[in-house]
Amino acid sequence: MADLTQTQPQSEKIPRALVRAMLALVLGVLALVTFARVTGMEPAAQPPVANVAVERLIVIGPNPAGGVLVTDAETGALIADLAENSGGFVGGVRRALQYDRSLHQGIAPDAPVRLVRWDDGRLSLIDPESDWAMELWGFGETNYRAFAALIDDASASN
């Protein structure tokens, strides 16, 4: 017959040294952030300063089929009509922009955004209504080219 006596459960406590180490880490990070704020240190992860090479005001909105419509905000001309399965990154950016705008009161969902190519080759998407901005070069070559095609059309017509 099997022995059914209960054994003592192992202690499930977190070791005291680990708790102290976690507390020290949190306090250290807090001290570093406080030091940086008090001394006025500039954030290190800022894009380099550059001049605007080409800029285009665009409206990124949904199309009736579930894809993405991109139009020129100044002329109303259609720039791109991306089907639901081909507008992946542009559609994702549209949803991120839409979410950010939902956090602010009074911003129209079809307000234009600035698509900017800087003289160093970077591309940025900037929402002047909410101050939301996205550096597009950080999302890979294919995604960069999806937006580069939207601004290259404007620079070719100038």
Domain ranges of the chain: 15-45, 52-157
Helix (H, G, I), strand (E, B) or coil at 117: strand
What is the DSSP-derived secondary structure letter of residue 123? E
The predicted pLDDT at position 153 comes to 67
Q: Which of 18-27, 80-89, 91-100 has the lowest mean pLDDT?
A: 80-89
pLDDT band at 115 (very low <50, low <70, confident <90, very high): very high
pLDDT above 90 (res 156):
no
Where do runs of H (alpha helix) occur along the chain? 16-39, 88-102, 141-157
Q: Which of 76-85, 127-136, 148-157 has the lowest mean pLDDT?
A: 148-157
The model's pTM is: 0.67
Q: Which of 40-49, 70-79, 138-147 has the lowest mean pLDDT?
A: 40-49
Average pLDDT, the chain: 84
The predicted pLDDT at position 152 comes to 80
pLDDT above 70 (res 101):
yes
Q: Enumerate helices (H) and strands (E) in the chain, giving the number of each.
A: 3, 6
